[in-house]
Amino acid sequence: MNIRQQKKRLKKALEIMNKVEVLDTDYEDESVLYIHAENCGYNLECIKESCNLLGIDTRKFIKSVSCDISEYGDDLLDLSYAWMFWTEIKNYRIWHSSKSGFFLKKVKED
């Protein structure tokens, strides 16, 4: 698969991930500290669709992003762990912002 096709597939998967209903996020400088989402059927279906598109093992992905935070009283998903599974494309990085969600950003390679 060439870079153009990889980019198109990754952009589509990130668009699907942006359908996940995010509860809270926190950032420090250019780092994502956490992206919390409710562990519910709708969000899990979005994650499954995104994982299937990228050929990622859905069970491992969900297990890795699942967390229990007592202040919310429910199981949550911390999508900041998703970067462990995503393969970035040459000259592009995956970013997240509270306004835009997940997106690809072109960067200069040294």
pLDDT given at position 110: 59
Query: Could you tell me if 104 and 86 are in contact, meaning their C-beta atoms sit under 8 angstroms apart?
Result: no
What the block records as the tokens of 62 is 């969900």
Q: Which single residue is written with the structure tokens 């998703």?
A: 82
pLDDT by 10-residue block (mean), the chain, 110 residues = 90 97 92 93 97 96 83 79 93 92 87
pLDDT given at position 1: 75
pLDDT given at position 40: 93
Q: Where are the domains of the chain?
A: 3-106
d(CA 8, CA 14) in angstroms, rounded, equals: 10
User: 16 — phi, psi (to 5°)?
Assistant: -65, -45
pLDDT given at position 75: 82
| 39 SS3 class | coil
